[in-house]
Amino acid sequence: MDAEDIRYMKLAMIEAKKGVGRTSPNPPVGAVVVRDGEVVSTGFHESAGEPHAEIIALKKAGERAYGATLYVTLEPCNHYGKTPPCTKAILKAGIRKVVYSCADPVAGHCGGGLFLRESGVIVTEGILKNEGEEILRPFLSVYLKDRPYILLKMGMTLDGKIYRTNRSGYITSDESLHHVHELRNEFDAVMIGGRTARIDNPRLDCRGVTGGRDGVKIVIDPTLKNLSPELKLFQKGTVIVVTGDDCDKDRLSEIKSKSECFLKFIIPNGDIFNKKNLSTVMKEIATYGVSSILLEGGSYLAGQMLHHHLVDSVKFFYNSSIAGNNGTLSAVSSITGDDFSDFKIKIRALESYVDDFVVSGDVIYKDT
């Protein structure tokens, strides 16, 4: 790979990351226009319906785009969607060469590279492809798995415990907490189980992050019996409540009427936690424009999601304390059967904070 291509593609990726968590159902994409070894302009896709990254960068470049190279993290689109095809704008601007990281997998959207090549533009693809796919994970998950990309985040003691059942409180440090809020800023939604909503009463918002925004809040609770409409997470923002068909109907209308927030209720038939229902729920959540979910527990929901192969990655925050087994809850519970061999975590990073350390990895299921 050409060192110049790598250098400018890295810049395009920095641009793309500015849109992470803001563009769903579209992918975050970044672009850079380079002429005679100089960066002429940059751009990124800000949100669905807004101009694509290439168009922003080309517009900023103006006449300086003529004869230049365009670096873009995703293959330029070649179709009329909410906006006209980027390929047309690229040709009109007189771009000489286009370098992109990932091919567009979506049938009907792809083919931009080929079209440009056939129109006389030099086209190079696959530069920093792995890094490019990393940025596109939520978009690719919806396209390939028909559900959002799901990352399980848990905070625990060194021996993998969260506090005693029905007790709340932070286990990990303020530094870790800040990092969690940064993560929330990058995910379309934050999801928890009903007991966590009740016991911890979290706001699930994004605090202390410059330019941060709150994502959609999702609660999964089969009965609603113990879910008060006064809980903090219902007071502000967009909430999706997933409950059972035999839930407490009075409570359901109470939450609906008392809450100021915009609510959607998803009510599958029968046990929410069986594979079919949980998978259907995740699929339906994606239809609301949620391409990524930060799953923040609790223990039972985390276990069920893993058991049904619905978690893609994990981020476990460990504090140096030891809890033992005196009434404590395992960070991930309710995994039944021979699950030690059903999936493994492929560790991708180990980070050390002042008081905690963090293990990040991808979940590799046996049947995939």
Ligand X SMILES: NC(=O)c1ccc[n+]([C@@H]2O[C@H](COP(=O)([O-])OP(=O)(O)OC[C@H]3O[C@@H](n4cnc5c(N)ncnc54)[C@H](OP(=O)(O)O)[C@@H]3O)[C@@H](O)[C@H]2O)c1
Instruction: Give the CA count within 13 Å in the CB-facing half-sphere of 333.
Output: 13
Whether omega before 202 lies within 30 degrees of 0, making that bond cis, reads no
- The answer to whether 90 touches 69, Cβ cutoff 8 Å, is no
The nearest distance, CB 290 to ligand X, in angstroms, is: 19
User: HSE (CB half, 13 Å, CA atoms) of 337?
Assistant: 9
Is 18:30 a contact under the CB 8 Å cutoff?
Answer: yes
CA 52 – CA 45 distance, rounded (Å): 5
286 vs 301 by CB, closer to ligand X: 301
Shortest gap between Cβ of 199 and ligand X (angstroms)? 4
For the bound state, the minimum distance from the C-beta of residue 27 to ligand X, rounded and expressed in Å, comes to: 29
CB 319 within 8 A of CB 158: yes
Which CB sits closer to ligand X, 11 or 163?
163
Residue 291 near residue 24 (C-beta atoms within 8 A) = yes
Catalytic hit among 15, 54, 186, 296? 54
One-character DSSP codes across 218-232: EEE-SS-TT--TTSG
Residues at the contact surface with ligand X, assessed by CB under 6 A? 154-156, 162-163, 166-168, 171, 192-196, 199-200, 221-223, 225-226, 296-301, 329, 333
Quick one: 32 or 301, whose CB is closer to ligand X?
301
Would you say 177 or 209 has its CB closer to ligand X? Answer: 177
At its nearest, how many Å lie between ligand X and the CB of residue 21?
21
What span, in angstroms and rounded, lies between the C-alpha atoms of 120 and 176?
Answer: 51
- Write out the two tokens for 37: 């070894």
Cβ proximity to ligand X, 2 vs 174, nearer residue: 174
Query: What is the closest distance, in whole angstroms, from the C-beta atom of residue 334 to ligand X in the complex?
Result: 6
Q: Which two tokens stand for residue 78?
A: 């070649």
Distance CA(247)–CA(255), nearest Å, equals 12
Is 260 one of the catalytic residues? no
Q: Which residues are catalytic?
A: 54
